[in-house]
Chain A
């Protein structure tokens, strides 16, 4: 294990040096999911570097030793068909490497597709993140708040993003908190994230969606739960409620700055019905969950505020 970490650190150092000392966003994780992914990435970079180096060394050796200019004129290369043992090694070693990486990959898949490790006991904050040309709308059904192009989140609490789109396929991505997932128009996808540290993070749509794609970004601010609650109260005191006609206007193609509303558009423009029938073991639970959200939660929220 220690050896592995030594490898990580050295690889990390190498990558940073190459990148001009600024840590690369993906390799500078601020949440458990991003950390898992960064570890996988560094592990695979390590193993893959070994493969590349081995191939290069063998190639260089052969090229130097067997170049025609170094060999006698009458040297005639032998006819070699193949060797069973050489081939077993050439197949066996890659199989072992691939098997190991597959094992890691499968394990990580189940980790990033569920509530972050260590956060299982907490109630997640559910945020509906929907995209329209070229904006992001964030609805907090429990808090009764909707924002445009910025996201406030509490630290040390699991976050459950429900993603969908009012147009082309987009991809919701906050590199330092975790990898991306698509937002599509006819179903809701779920992304599980969490933030370990307070701070400002870059978030963007990563999937090409037309003319305004490059600027289709949003700011993420992670803060303590107390600060978050304070913000929620403040919004309820200062912001205007969102109306259907206003929301329709927001959906028109274009860019908008940051905006804040009370209430959510889920009340009059609910998320698409089809939650993706996940093949994972919590499929049933998921189904229940989404039903619950589509009806009850929105309902109670409405009456709550």
Chain B
């Protein structure tokens, strides 16, 4: 029995038992459903073994949406607990677990897969490629992300969730102060999905550098591709730092090393430094692709070319460089002295300049345009003022002397949600609505979409603006309760109401998908928004080879040129197309990683070693395998093109 005790939840509550039952029922339901409808083969052939960037993108998208709801459930519980003084909904331990998982899920398992979804779906289409450079590696990246996400989520029902905050500062996250396996989950789950992210970074950089259609010079790439490229360069340079930090954290917890401990020379500040050397660039990994999406959307719905293309590019390059030079601003209060703080204060504020350039470029893109207020455009228009507020509060936080007062308070919480929600989440929802027809063949309902937008925007303002005030009034972040005498009550209640509105908003997205699936027209053509860049030049839904003939590029808006200025996109005869074969190995490897991670978390060394050997066997098999892909014949291509409504 002793063996099994480690899997028990250290701080059980009825809510957790209820979730256990729910998880079990849903799992049984899925298995039964797949069996009853005989969909196992379909699932394996079309999804689990796919190496198609579009299908992988869709899997990222679905996972991100699921995780959005998981993280959102955490958020609403936190706001409910804080809505009134001395509430008893959650105790301290549960509150700590919930804000920890909220942070990790939202950043690592919601925002990251969301941007990967769009990178996968859009980048190859925008550069006129058949797929990414390493399709099978791409599948492996997804399955590693998936394994990490699953691993992290089962912490809730097996062994206990991490409870040291998403920043997981040592020594609090060390064995002395965090005894449950929760933080092991944190270390291993993020490690596994982080390896996946790193491989996506390498894959996308190579794809964008080498696989652009003829004529597409770097300065003729669509803006989203540029943003994806820069984000992936940051990934390649930032994620290894996290990898090392997580290895050290893991060995501290599992093998009793002394990297971050309070004895034998360990140094807790080292973790904080490493975490933020990765953590700050990570913010830009998320926001730059969001900027890219906004650029595409604003330009499309203003019916104008993107203003200041080259300044957009250079500002992103500058942001990416600066992002590595500001990490200390996450702990101005660590006592590194006035000089260090001054330097990092200035570098941090400097980021406001290129960001400001981007804001003005979006404004000037709308200038003299012909603005249509579709749902994606609404998000983009809402983004500009809200993100500006988030940005300027960032400048305020960058003033290090004043930061001594903002640090660790709700003011900070308000600030970063004010950048991430209008910045990243709105962009993802805008992108979701904008690209939905391209991949699913029907439009999402505009009316419901607008209701969603207003619910989210009003909810956002109500939820987060009060926090600026409670922060200045001395409400520290991560407090699970407060007394009535503090006077935080009313503003926190307002936050709760806002959060509830946002929750309703997110539910309407699901309803919208259901409603549109049933009612929307399927006859939308390949270019329903009258868009400008290359991804709209192929059919809807996109055939597996993307373009029957490789497009010829004239500018960053080649498709628009072909519609308005008589540019000929597709020249020459259709030729045979070479495509990669599907493979089950990435999925299998992902699952072995899941087992390995789980075994490490619980210090089960025998299965851990077996799983590691399994991973190496998979790699060796890949090395010896002869797989030259397959060819799609001209006849087949012509048939597909005909079916989709004429050759392109």
Residues of A within 8 A of B (CB): 15, 18-20, 22, 24-27, 34, 36-38, 40-41, 44-45, 48, 51-52, 55-56, 58-59, 62-63, 66-68, 71, 75-82, 86-87, 90-91, 94-95, 97-98, 101-102, 104-106, 108-114, 133, 163, 167-169, 171, 173, 175, 178-182, 184-187, 189-190, 202, 204-214, 276, 278-280, 283
B269→A184 contact, CB < 8 A:
yes
A52, A104, A202: most-surrounded residue (chain B CB, <10 A): A52
The answer on a CB contact under 8 Å between A175 and B474 is yes
Check B401 against A112 for contact (C-beta < 8 Å). yes
* Shortest Cβ distance from residue B639 to the other chain A in the assembled complex, whole angstroms: 38
11 A-B pairs in the complex with CB atoms less than 8 angstroms apart: A19-B473, A51-B388, A82-B310, A87-B311, A101-B349, A168-B169, A169-B171, A182-B331, A206-B407, A214-B480, A278-B337
Contacts of B491 in A (CB 8 A): 19
- List 8 additional contacts besides A55-B359, A108-B399; criterion CB under 8 Å: A37-B405, A44-B395, A58-B363, A105-B345, A110-B342, A167-B171, A167-B262, A186-B267
Is B340 interfacial (CB-CB < 8 Å)? yes
> Is the beta-carbon distance between A98 and B338 smaller than 8 angstroms?
no
Find the B residue at minimum CB distance from A93.
B356
Beta-carbon contact of B333 and A52 below 8 Å: no
Tell me the minimal C-beta distance from B579 to chain A in angstroms. 37
Inside 8 A of B309's CB, which chain A residues have their CB?
Answer: 81-82
Q: Which of A104, A113, A168, A212 contacts B337 (CB under 8 A)?
A: A113
| Cross-interface CB contact of B472 among A24, A75, A78, cutoff 8 Å | A24
Q: Are A182 and B399 also in contact (CB < 8 A) when A91-B357, A206-B408 are?
A: no
A169, B342: Cβ atoms closer than 8 Å:
no
* A208 engages B92 (CB within 8 Å): no
Q: Which residues of chain A have C-beta atoms less than 8 A from B370's C-beta?
A: 66, 68, 71, 75-77
Contacts of A181 in B (CB 8 A): 333-335, 404
Whether A78 lies near B368 (C-beta < 8 A) is yes
Report A209 CB to chain B, min CB distance, Å: 6
Instruction: Give every chain B residue within 8 A of A27 (Cβ-Cβ).
Output: 472
- Quote the shortest CB–CB distance from B446 to chain A (angstroms): 14
Closest 6 CB pairs of A and B: A179-B404, A189-B335, A108-B401, A48-B392, A168-B172, A278-B337
Does B490 sit at the interface, judged by CB under 8 A?
yes
A residues less than 8 Å from B476 (CB atoms): 173, 204-206
A87 CA to B358 CA, complexed, in Å: 11
The answer for the CA separation of A155 and B388 in the assembled complex, in Å, is 41
Among B171, B303, B336, B388, point to the contact of A77 (Cβ < 8 A).
B303
Q: How far is the CA of A18 from the CA of B345 in the complex (A)?
A: 29
Bound Cα distance A24, B381 (Å)? 32
- Of all chain A residues, which has the CB nearest B339? A279
Chain A residue contacts of B267, Cβ below 8 A: 186
Interface size class of B (residues with CB under 8 A): 35 or more
B interface, over-half SS: helix
Docked pose: A96 CA to B567 CA in angstroms: 44
- B-side contacts of A98, CB under 8 Å: 349-350, 352-353, 395
How many Å lie between the Cα of A56 and that of B352 in the bound state?
17
A208 to B268, CA, bound (A): 14
Complex contacts, B359 vs chain A, CB 8 Å: 55
Q: Could you tell me which residues of chain B, from 147 to 197, have a CB within 8 Å of some CB in chain A?
A: 163-165, 169, 171-172, 176-178
Contacts of A56 in B (CB 8 A): 385, 388
Contact status of A167 and B177, CB under 8 A, knowing A40-B399, A211-B93: yes
Chain B 449-483 interface 0/1 with A at a Cβ cutoff of 8 Å (1 = within): 00000000000000000000100111011111110
Would B333 and A171 count as touching, CB distance under 8 A? yes
Q: Tell me if B96 is interfacial: C-beta within 8 Å of chain A.
A: yes
Report the Cα distance A78→B342, complex, angstroms: 45
Least CB distance from B92 to A in Å reads 5
B131 located at the interface, meaning its Cβ lies under 8 Å from any Cβ of chain A in the complex: no
Cα–Cα, bound, A173→B272 (Å): 20
B511 at the interface (CB under 8 A from A): no
Among residues of B, the one whose C-beta sits closest to the C-beta of A108 is B401
Q: Decide if B172 touches A22 in the complex (CB within 8 Å).
A: no
B574 CB-CB contact with A under 8 Å: no
Q: How far is the CA of A38 from the CA of B473 in the complex (A)?
A: 12
B366 an interface residue at 8 Å Cβ cutoff? yes
Contact A102 B349 (CB under 8 A): yes
Contact B311 A82 (CB under 8 A): yes
Option from B302, B353, B363 in Cβ contact (under 8 Å) with A55: B363
What CA separation (Å) do A201 and B491 show in the bound complex?
A: 22
Q: Is the CB of B388 within 8 A of A208?
A: no
How far is A106 from B356 in the complex, measured between Cα atoms in Å? 22
Across the interface, do B337 and A77 meet the contact criterion of CB distance under 8 Å? no
A129 to chain B, nearest CB (A): 13
Closest residue of A by beta carbon distance from B261: A185
B366 CB contacts on chain A under 8 angstroms:
62-63, 66
Q: Are B268 and A186 in contact (CB under 8 A)?
A: yes
B308 at the interface (CB under 8 A from A): yes
The docked-state distance in angstroms from the alpha carbon of A94 to that of B349 is: 10
- With both beta carbons as reference points, the residue of chain B lying nearest to A207 in the complex is identified as B408
A26 and B474 contact, CB distance less than 8 A: yes
Chain A residues with CB under 8 A of B172: 167-169, 208-210
